[in-house]
């Protein structure tokens, strides 16, 4: 049944949606001689809206199908979709984050049969299997993977070679590397510790996923107070206290600055750091000693581990994936045509709007399995200076980054706990517990117990 909480804001959301439609529905419409479909997207930045318009215009020219583009802030997608679902005015296609896919399919908003048609026609094996797994439902797939990013453990490959360290691919190797780097005069590893910042959530969640932690069991029971969880918290806080920031006020800004300054041997960051490592963003230039003569020194001397593992888990990577969803109210043929075009003729144009953070979730075609990976590696990135990723990173490094996306996951998504995940992020449950352990107020065991109780309460509150 559609969640009754969505109806609470129905009147307000519906009014907002109608107003929004009347103002922006025709802004990006090119006239064709065929049917008209409506496309919602949360990618509202001017450059991304412009790229979307270009893809739509090419699609209309080719097919005659008109597309009305409506830009909606990501935080408003859920409420506005709920209002339109209730009113029977769903869009045909929606560009959305993974956290909405499973719930919308279960509620009857997304048409899995339409998504399956696109995926099968393009070739199921041409997509990231990890991205497909995240939206796997009884009827196939809730939506079609478009693009995404996976968090990276970035490390100084030159220092690892000098210190004879193995790449940090598991908990033990990460710990050994952090300790050795610290003894050499650097911060061993930089990651989030601020209990009031969501960056800490993404960092600790990467370690939790790597150690096999799951939000719930098959019956919906919360499963966070476990030895797996304790070990993940224990290692993370040990790394941060002994070999990392050593405080509880660190988030992405400080961790990036330390690595760019050559003061840290490892950093946990999103791939949006790739152009900054290469010196393409003037507001965050590398400033290590070697960078004076070679702005791209750190990029050339960095290695990447997308997925790493704990003693109780398998390689896993925290990340975000975006999808193209076709709704149950769509013009089936026109909508599937549009999504197929997006993932084919228009694909590289879309990825180029932010190539460093838009990894292709479709690797290639059935005829050329690496077409889009190869094309992506030659797309330009950067803000003040534009260059291709392949100018700074070797084919091996880029392949590692891309293939790692097969292991992207998020806590609770596979279990269908979308609302609960949102509440956990909103309440900063994990970052607060990490902060308490860092401050010595509680033990890792007590943190796991505390998190379990808080999440159980959040789940109970959502049902009331």
Three-state SS for 154?
A: strand
Task: Give me the pLDDT at residue 67, please.
Answer: 97
* Same domain (yes/no): 45, 118: yes
CA dihedral for 170, 171, 172, 174, sign (positive or negative): positive
* Same domain (yes/no): 244, 256: yes
Contact 104, 325 (CB under 8 A): yes
* Same domain (yes/no): 159, 142: no
* Same domain (yes/no): 9, 106: yes
Task: Give me the pLDDT at residue 16, please.
Answer: 46
Task: Give me the pLDDT at residue 395, please.
Answer: 84
Select from 341, 361, 393 the last residue of a domain.
393
* Same domain (yes/no): 8, 144: yes
Q: How many CB atoms are closer than 10 A to CB 383?
A: 12
How confident is the model over 353-403, as pLDDT tens digits? 999 889 999 999 999 999 998 899 889 988 888 899 889 998 888 888 877
* Same domain (yes/no): 139, 101: yes
124 vs 261: CA distance, rounded Å: 43
* Same domain (yes/no): 112, 132: yes
Contact 356, 299 (CB under 8 A): no
CA dihedral for 43, 323, 355, 54, sign (positive or negative): negative
φ/ψ of residue 333, rounded to 5: -65, -45
Task: Give me the pLDDT at residue 21, please.
Answer: 42
Residue 379: give its domain's CATH number: 3.40.190.10
How far from the centroid of its chain's Cα atoms is residue 121's Cα?
26
Task: Give me the pLDDT at residue 30, please.
Answer: 60
Contact 366, 359 (CB under 8 A): no
Residue among 380, 364, 383, 361 at smallest CA distance from 372: 364
Six token digits for residue 302:
């960095």
Domain that holds residue 429: 152-269+417-463
* Same domain (yes/no): 340, 457: no
In a domain, 312, yes or no: no
* Same domain (yes/no): 198, 128: no
Alpha helices per DSSP H over 44-170? 46-63, 77-87, 98-106, 112-122, 129-134, 157-162
* Same domain (yes/no): 47, 107: yes
In a domain, 283, yes or no: no
In a domain, 143, yes or no: yes
Six token digits for residue 295:
């702005």
In a domain, 404, yes or no: no
Strand partners, 154: 267, 304
* Same domain (yes/no): 119, 201: no
In a domain, 437, yes or no: yes
What is the bridge-based pairing of β-strands 144-150 and 387-388? unpaired
* Same domain (yes/no): 8, 131: yes
In a domain, 263, yes or no: yes
90 vs 72: CA distance, rounded Å: 14
- Written as tens digits, the pLDDT of the chain (464 aa) is 334 344 334 434 443 444 344 334 344 456 778 899 999 999 999 989 999 999 999 999 999 999 999 999 988 898 899 999 999 999 999 999 988 888 899 889 999 999 999 999 999 999 988 889 889 888 899 999 999 999 999 999 999 999 999 999 999 999 999 999 999 999 999 999 999 999 999 999 999 999 999 999 978 999 999 999 999 999 999 999 999 999 999 999 999 999 999 999 999 999 999 999 999 999 999 999 999 999 999 999 999 999 999 999 999 999 999 999 999 999 999 999 999 999 999 999 999 999 988 999 999 999 999 999 889 988 998 888 889 988 999 888 888 887 777 778 889 987 778 778 888 988 999 999 999 999 999 999 999 999 999 999 999 998 87
Task: Give me the pLDDT at residue 300, please.
Answer: 95
In a domain, 289, yes or no: no
| Total number of domains in the chain | 2
What is the bridge-based pairing of β-strands 302-305 and 152-156? antiparallel
In a domain, 51, yes or no: yes
How confident is the model over 402-423, as pLDDT tens digits? 777 777 888 998 777 877 888 8
């Amino acid at each position: 049944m559609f969640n009754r909480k969505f109806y609470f804001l129905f009147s307000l959301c519906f009014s907002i949606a109608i107003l929004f439609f009347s103002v922006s529905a025709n802004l990006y419409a090119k006239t064709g001689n065929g049917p008209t479909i409506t496309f919602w997207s949360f990618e509202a930045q001017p450059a991304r809206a412009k790229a979307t318009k270009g893809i739509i215009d090419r699609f209309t020219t080719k097919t005659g199908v008109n597309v009305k583009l409506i830009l909606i802030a990501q935080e408003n997608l859920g409420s506005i979709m709920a209002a339109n679902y209730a009113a029977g005015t769903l869009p045909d296609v929606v560009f959305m984050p993974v956290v909405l896919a499973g719930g919308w399919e279960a509620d009857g908003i997304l048409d899995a049969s339409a998504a399956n048609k696109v995926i099968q026609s393009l070739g199921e094996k041409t997509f990231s299997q990890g991205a497909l797994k995240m939206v796997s439902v009884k009827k196939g797939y809730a939506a079609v993977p478009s693009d995404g990013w996976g968090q990276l453990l970035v490390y100084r490959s030159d220092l690892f070679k000098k210190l004879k360290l193995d790449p940090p691919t598991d908990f033990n190797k990460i710990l050994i590397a952090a300790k050795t780097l610290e003894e050499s005069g650097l911060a061993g590893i930089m990651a989030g510790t601020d209990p009031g910042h969501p960056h800490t959530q993404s960092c600790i969640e990467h370690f939790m996923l790597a150690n096999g932690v799951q939000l719930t069991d098959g019956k919906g029971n919360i499963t966070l107070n476990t030895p797996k969880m304790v070990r993940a918290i224990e290692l993370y806080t040990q790394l941060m206290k002994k070999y990392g920031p050593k405080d509880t006020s660190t988030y992405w800004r400080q961790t990036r600055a330390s690595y760019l300054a050559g003061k840290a041997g490892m950093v946990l960051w999103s791939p949006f750091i790739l152009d900054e490592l290469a010196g393409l963003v003037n507001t965050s230039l590398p400033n290590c000693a070697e960078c004076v003569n070679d702005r791209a020194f750190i990029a050339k001397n960095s290695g990447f581990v997308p997925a790493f593992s704990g003693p109780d888990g398998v390689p896993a990577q925290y990340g975000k994936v975006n999808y193209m969803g076709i709704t149950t109210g769509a013009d089936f043929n026109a909508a599937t045509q549009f999504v197929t075009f997006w993932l084919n003729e228009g694909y590289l144009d879309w990825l180029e709007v932010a190539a460093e953070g838009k990894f292709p979730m479709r690797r290639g075609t059935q005829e050329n399995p690496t077409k889009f990976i190869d094309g992506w590696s030659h797309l330009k990135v950067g803000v003040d200076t534009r260059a291709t990723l392949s100018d700074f990173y070797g084919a091996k490094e880029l392949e590692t980054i891309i293939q790692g996306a097969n292991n992207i996951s998020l806590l609770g998504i596979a279990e269908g706990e979308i609302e609960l995940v949102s509440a956990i992020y909103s309440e900063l449950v994990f970052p607060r517990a990490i902060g308490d352990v860092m401050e010595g107020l509680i033990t890792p065991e007590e943190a796991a117990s505390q998190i379990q109780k808080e999440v159980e309460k959040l789940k109970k509150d959502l049902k009331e």
